[in-house]
Amino acid sequence: MTNNYANRHGHTDIEPVEIVRVISAKTLEVREMRASENLVELTFNVGGFSAHSPDQHKQAYKIVSDLDAPTYRIRRNGQGRWLDKYGRRHVLADKPINFFDVNF
C-alpha cells in the first residue's frame, strides 16, 4: 500500500486521518490528525444562506499527527469503499487533507 492517509469525507467536509497500521488487505488501523485554524483569510460575499466564499478552495492548514488520539479500524466493503464502524467514508490518499465547506 502506497497511501499513508485515509482522509474522512463527511458530505462536503474532509478531515485528515493517518494510517497507523495495515492489518490486512481489507482492514486498516487509523488515527485522526490535528489541523490548525485556516491559515488563509477567505473573502465572503452576500448571498446563499448568509454569505458565499468564492475562494474557499484556497484553505490551508498545518496538519500534524496526534499521537494521543485513539486508533480505530476501517474496512473495505464489497464496493471497494473504506468505512469505519459508524459508516463514515474514508478515501485513501498520499497527503492529509482538511477542508471545511464554508458555503454549505
pTM exceeds 0.85, yes or no:
no
CA distance 48 to 103: 8
pLDDT band at 56 (very low <50, low <70, confident <90, very high): confident
Q: How far is CA 8 from the centre of its chain?
A: 4
3-state secondary structure of 58: helix
Tell me what percent of the residues of the chain surpass a pLDDT of 90. 64
Segments making up each domain of the chain, as ranges: 5-93
Residue range 56-85: average pLDDT?
93
DSSP string of 10-53, one letter each residue? ETTEEE-EEEEEEEETTEEEEEEEEE-S-SSPPP-EEETTEEE-
pLDDT band at 64 (very low <50, low <70, confident <90, very high): very high
What is the chain's mean pLDDT, rounded? 89
Q: Which of 49-53, 58-62, 72-76 has the highest mean pLDDT?
A: 72-76
